[in-house]
């Protein structure tokens, strides 16, 4: 099984630069972006060159570091770094990891003593961004371990698991969330020559499943079959899958989970067909200030992603378009949430609080 792709990397110290694997070019071309200012990071997040809740947060943290490159005083550096936090927070509204990472960077910025040299200030910011990156890598590994143990009990040799969008190394700082579980299960099954198949939804309209998930699975030698989103019901009806596992961009205190559009439909289908439905996400994806998924902001993206997908017009001029990027799977439809701290099951506010926090909004 090959190594995970290097999605995000920082070169140098406090005056370094950020390199991102440009996911808009996959699978046809492996190309990298060197980001040397805040605006280039904002653009990369906005246009999905880097995507996936954890990866967005990591990229934004490094983006804050870039704000100090042209500053000569601590006051100037602090002002620029705080402005970078504000700017990067505008890039994507749904992924809570973005705001969590930026708040950590704000904490470092505001806590720095007034007599701190600018060079030391920049190094401290870079160190915090690296810590966020390293922590996510460790969280991915733990999610993989917990999830593989869980799925091993429900997915027989020769069975299948359905996943949606992309939740692997391309979306995180490590092996992924939902895909980390599947990678870990694949490694365990290899040792006993017991394979299983991953069914990957295309994930309309930007085809993250077809372009990115299939690319990762093939690169790492995991048996995989690509299907259209609309085929999921038939695949379940035929008994080809024994579990569904997805990631999340924000999870409310009651366990409602926002993820790429199409996830809610999969949860409904899984419930109807008696297939367990799992969500895999780090504790940083939980937003305990939101009582339920009704309060999660849902990003609406440009109509052209549907009418002119990948540069080719597929709808008539003047067509009205509704293009929400995410939907919310209610906690009642989620069998378990797999985190780096353990498995939340049943998915209730009390169980969420027991694993990832202590306060549940009224």
pLDDT at 4: 77
Residue 78 has pLDDT above 70, yes or no: yes
Q: Residue 361 above 80 pLDDT? A: no
For position 358, what pLDDT does the model report? Answer: 60
- Does 166 share its domain with 313? yes
Q: pLDDT band for position 209 (50/70/90)?
A: very high
Range of the domain at 117: 8-137
- Residue-wise pLDDT for 10-58, tens only, equals 998 778 999 999 999 999 999 999 999 999 999 999 999 999 999 999 9
HEC profile for 210-232? HHHHHHHHHHCCCCEEEECHHHH
Annotated binding site for substrate: 51-53, 92, 208, 259-260
Domain presence at residue 361: no
Candidates 136, 201, 249, 327; catalytic one: 249
Binned at pLDDT 50, 70 and 90, residue 77 comes out as: very high
The DSSP H or E segment spanning 244 is: strand 243-246
Domain count, the chain: 2
Residue 264 located in a structural domain: yes
Same domain, residue pair 72 and 160:
no
Same domain, residue pair 122 and 248? no
Give yes or no: residues 170 and 295 share one domain: yes
Assess if residue 2 is contained within a domain: no
- Report the chain's mean pLDDT, rounded to a whole number: 95
Catalytic status, residue 249 = yes
Tens-place pLDDT, residues 164-207: 999 999 999 999 999 999 999 999 998 788 899 999 999 999 99
Burial of 287 (0-12, 13-18, 19+ CB in 10 A): buried
Do both 195 and 311 map to the same domain?
Answer: yes
One domain for residues 109 and 174: no
Say if residue 25 is in the same domain as residue 67. yes
What is the per-residue pLDDT for 362?
Answer: 40
User: Do residues 113 and 156 both lie within one domain?
Assistant: no
Tokens read off for 104: 């950590």
Read off the pLDDT band of 360 (50, 70, 90): very low
The stretch 230-259 carries a mean pLDDT of 98
Arithmetic mean of pLDDT, 75-87: 96
Shared domain for 118 and 216, answered yes or no, is: no
Q: Which residues, 6+ apart, have CB-to-CB distance to 343 below 8 Å?
A: 146, 147, 150, 336, 337
pLDDT of residue 70: 83
Residues 213 and 331 grouped into a single domain: yes
Q: Are residues 47 and 75 in the same domain?
A: yes
Predicted confidence at residue 325, as pLDDT, reads 97
**Nearest in space to 161 (alpha carbons), one of 311, 257, 283, 280:** 280
Same domain as 198, residue 306: yes
pLDDT tens-digit series, residues 302-320: 999 999 999 899 999 999 9
Section 292-297 average pLDDT: 98
């Amino acid at each position: 099984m090959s190594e995970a792709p290097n999605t995000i990397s920082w070169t140098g110290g406090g005056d370094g630069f950020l390199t991102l694997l440009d996911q808009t070019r996959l699978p046809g071309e492996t190309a990298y972006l060197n980001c040397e200012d805040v605006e280039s990071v904002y653009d990369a997040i906005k246009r999905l060159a880097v995507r996936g809740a954890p990866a967005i947060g990591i990229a934004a943290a490094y983006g804050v570091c870039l704000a100090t490159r042209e500053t000569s005083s601590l006051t100037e550096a602090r002002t620029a770094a705080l402005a970078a936090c504000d700017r990067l927070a505008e890039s994507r509204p749904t992924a809570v990891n973005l705001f969590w990472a930026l708040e950590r960077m704000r904490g470092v910025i505001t806590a720095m003593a007034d007599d701190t040299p600018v060079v030391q200030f920049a190094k401290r910011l870079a160190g915090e961004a690296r810590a966020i990156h390293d922590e996510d890598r460790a969280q991915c590994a733990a999610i993989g371990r917990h999830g593989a143990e869980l799925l091993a009990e429900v997915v027989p040799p020769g069975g299948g698991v359905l996943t949606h969008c992309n939740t692997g190394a391309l979306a995180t700082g490590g092996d992924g969330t939902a895909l980390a579980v599947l990678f870990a299960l694949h490694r365990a099954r290899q040792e006993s020559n017991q394979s299983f198949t991953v069914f990957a939804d295309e994930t309309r309209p930007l085809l993250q499943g077809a372009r990115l998930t299939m690319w990762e699975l093939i690169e790492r030698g995991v048996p995989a079959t690509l299907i259209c989103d609309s085929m999921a019901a038939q695949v379940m009806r035929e008994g080809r899958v024994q579990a569904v596992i997805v990631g999340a961009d924000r999870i409310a205190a009651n366990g409602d989970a926002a993820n790429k559009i199409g996830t809610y439909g999969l949860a409904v289908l899984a419930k109807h067909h008696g297939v367990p439905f799992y969500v895999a996400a780090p504790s940083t994806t939980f937003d305990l200030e939101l009582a339920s998924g009704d309060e999660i902001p849902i990003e609406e993206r440009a109509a052209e992603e549907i009418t002119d997908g990948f540069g080719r017009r597929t709808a008539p001029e003047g067509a009205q378009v509704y293009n929400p990027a995410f939907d919310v799977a209610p906690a009642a439809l989620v069998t378990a949430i797999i985190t780096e701290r353990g498995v939340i099951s049943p998915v209730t506010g009390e169980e969420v609080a027991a694993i990832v926090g202590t306060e549940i909004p009224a």
